[in-house]
Each structure stands twice: as structure tokens, then as C-alpha cells.
């Protein structure tokens, strides 16, 4: 991905999911991922990353641009003891896998300011995208090519098995594929497919990131939640996103009137 300045960081959340050993309490595994704010009380991410999360072991970094910046006055660590996986999500079926989304409820409402703001979630009524060639995806994910030997961000030693997670938020321009083409080229129907040339798209560590596009009503919305790449038979594999259209009613049923409707038309925030 490309580096992004302190523009859209207020909508994004850096998630750190820690699974602890039930007997010893020691940390067994740490999974770093993405997500974005829907309201003062809720964020959304991918369901598949939440399988590592147990109550009282999950947290989010809100309002951050550089996740390694220890003295960032705009960043805040918050807990989310509550999580709700979409009830239709099933990673083992072609029908259930497209509902790869989970809502995270914070332990207390966030204080919204210029650095912490919810993103508008696309509704069926705002489905029409103004320009499918001018969408963006944001994240702190892998910055190395598959199989590339990378340098661990906190070590002097090289390790080929370590993912080069970017400490700074990055973005990349992406193109929405026609749904008929998308459904005809992958064996699973129901995702939003996006195409990014030259292997510069989202990767490991970007799960839960928003696909942000400008609607024909000139507002910006999250149209999808990043799931992963579909690589079989593609030189440049498309990125797959849980479609806002098929999960909107579920999101609305839980978040309710708290769901953000104060959408922006400021192109500088997303372009």
C-alpha cells in the first residue's frame, strides 16, 4: 500500500487480538488487524480475525496514524469486551463465508473529536457508486510481496516468516470489478471484488479494513469490509470484501440509531 498522511486516520482502528492460555494466563498468540468505527459504541472488522479473541483480551487503538508512536496525543487504547459475529457467517460454506463481519462493542462510548470519528456505512439506498475507478482501501497490513524476505520492525535480524506490518497507516486506490465479472471468475457469489494492479493492494494484517467509495449522492461510504485475496488463476488476484448491502440490516439491527449518518463530502479526506 501507499503511505497516507494524517487524513483518514480518525475513522480507522488498529486492532490487537490476544489469545491467552486458559490455565496459565500467558499470551499464546497475537493477531494484528484492522477495522473502522461505525459509532461512538461500535467498530466493525472481519469475523475470521475474531476467532482469536476472548473476553478481556482484546483492545483497539483509536485515532492513531503511526501505531508505534508511543506519545501520540490523538491515539487512545480502548477495550471491546463485547463482540457479535454475523450469525450467517460460516467459513466452511460458500453461502456463509460472504458474511465475514463482526461488530465490536466498546466498554464505554468514545469521545468523538477531529481525530476520532465514525465512518458512514453504505445503505442499499446509497449503493450506486459515482466512480468505481476511484475507491480506496486503508490499512496497516503487510508491505512485502509474497515470499519476500523482510525485516522485523523491532529486530536487527531478518526473518522470512515475519509479516512486514506497516507501522504507519497506508492507502491504495482500487477499482471495483463489475459484479457479474466478479461472480463469474470466483466460485463464491456475494462478495464485492476490487482490483489493484502491480501487487499493491491490501494483504495480511488488513482484514477488517474499509473499502471507501464516493456515492452518486456525493458522500463517502464504506462499501465493504476487507476479507482477503482470491489468488487461484490470477496474475493480480482480486481483493474480496464483505458487501455492505448484504450485512447492512444486521449492522443496523445491533447498532441501531447510533449508526453514523453524518457523512462527509470532503474529497481531501479520502482521495
Chain segment 216-235, per-residue pLDDT in tens: 888 889 999 998 877 645 56
Per the DSSP assignment, residues forming a β-bridge with 35 are: 13
Q: What share of the chain is helix, strand, coil (3-state, %, to 5)?
A: 15, 35, 50
Choose between 14 and 127: higher pLDDT: 127
Per the DSSP assignment, residues forming a β-bridge with 37 are: 43
Task: Give me the percent of the chain exceeding a pLDDT of 70.
Answer: 70
pLDDT tens digit sequence for 144-182: 654 333 332 332 333 333 345 677 788 888 889 888 888
Stretch 247-265: mean pLDDT: 90
Contact (Cβ atoms closer than 8 angstroms) between residue 13 and residue 169: no
Stretch 74-82: mean pLDDT: 81
Q: What is the pLDDT of residue 16?
A: 58
Grid cell 457479535 in the structure block, residue: 84
Q: What is the pLDDT of residue 248?
A: 95
Lowest-pLDDT range of 1-5, 121-125, 149-153: 149-153
The residues near 216 (Cβ < 8 Å, ≥ 6 apart) are 128, 129, 130
Q: What is the pLDDT of residue 159?
A: 33
Task: Give me the percent of the chain exceeding a pLDDT of 90.
Answer: 21
Q: Which three cell numbers stand for residue 138?
A: 486503508
Choose between 81 and 219: higher pLDDT: 219
Q: What is the pTM of this model?
A: 0.82
pLDDT at 11 over 80: no
Q: What is the pLDDT of residue 231?
A: 60
Q: What is the pLDDT of residue 241?
A: 92
- DSSP output for 26-69: -EEEEEEEEEEESSSSEEEE-GGGGGG--TTSEEEEES-SBTT-
Q: What is the pLDDT of residue 30?
A: 56
For residues 36 and 11, give the distance between their C-alpha atoms in angstroms, rounded to a whole number: 6
Grid cell 482501501 in the structure block, residue: 137
129-130-132 Cα angle (round to 5): 65
Choose between 136 and 4: higher pLDDT: 136
Stretch 176-194: mean pLDDT: 83
Q: What is the pLDDT of residue 103?
A: 94
Q: What is the pLDDT of residue 71?
A: 82
Stretch 23-33: mean pLDDT: 56
The residues near 26 (Cβ < 8 Å, ≥ 6 apart) are 20
Q: Which three cell numbers stand for residue 206?
A: 488488513
Stretch 243-271: mean pLDDT: 85
Dihedral of CA 248/251/254/255: which sign? negative
Q: What is the pLDDT of residue 223?
A: 93
Amino acid at each position: 500500500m501507499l503511505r497516507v498522511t494524517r487524513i483518514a486516520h480518525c475513522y480507522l482502528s488498529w486492532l490487537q487480538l490476544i489469545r491467552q492460555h486458559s490455565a496459565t494466563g500467558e499470551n499464546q498468540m497475537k493477531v494484528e488487524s484492522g477495522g473502522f468505527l461505525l459509532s461512538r459504541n461500535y467498530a466493525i472488522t472481519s469475523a475470521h480475525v475474531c476467532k482469536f479473541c476472548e473476553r478481556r483480551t482484546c483492545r483497539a487503538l483509536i485515532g492513531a496514524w503511526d501505531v508505534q508512536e508511543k506519545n501520540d496525543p490523538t491515539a487512545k487504547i480502548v477495550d471491546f469486551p463485547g463482540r457479535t459475529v454475523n450469525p450467517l457467517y460460516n467459513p466452511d460454506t460458500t453461502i456463509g463465508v460472504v458474511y465475514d463481519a463482526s461488530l465490536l462493542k466498546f466498554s464505554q462510548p468514545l469521545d468523538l473529536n477531529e481525530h476520532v470519528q465514525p465512518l458512514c456505512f453504505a445503505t442499499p439506498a446509497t449503493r450506486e457508486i459515482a466512480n468505481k475507478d476511484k475507491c480506496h482501501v486503508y490499512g496497516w497490513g503487510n508491505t512485502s510481496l509474497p515470499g519476500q524476505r523482510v525485516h522485523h520492525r523491532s529486530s536487527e535480524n531478518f526473518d522470512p516468516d515475519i509479516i512486514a506490518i506497516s507501522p504507519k497507516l497506508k492507502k491504495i486506490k482500487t477499482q471495483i470489478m463489475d459484479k457479474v465479472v466478479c461472480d463469474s471468475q470466483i466460485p463464491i457469489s456475494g462478495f464485492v471484488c476490487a482490483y489493484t494492479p502491480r501487487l499493491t493492494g491490501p494483504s495480511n494484517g488488513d482484514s477488517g479494513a474499509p473499502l471507501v467509495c464516493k456515492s452518486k449522492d456525493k458522500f463517502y461510504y464504506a462499501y465493504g469490509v476487507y476479507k482477503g485475496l482470491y489468488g487461484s488463476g490470477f496474475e493480480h488476484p482480486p481483493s474480496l470484501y464483505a458487501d455492505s448491502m448484504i450485512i447492512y440490516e444486521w449492522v443496523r439491527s445491533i447498532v441501531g440509531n447510533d449508526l453514523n449518518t453524518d457523512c462527509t463530502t470532503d474529497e481531501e479526506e479520502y482521495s
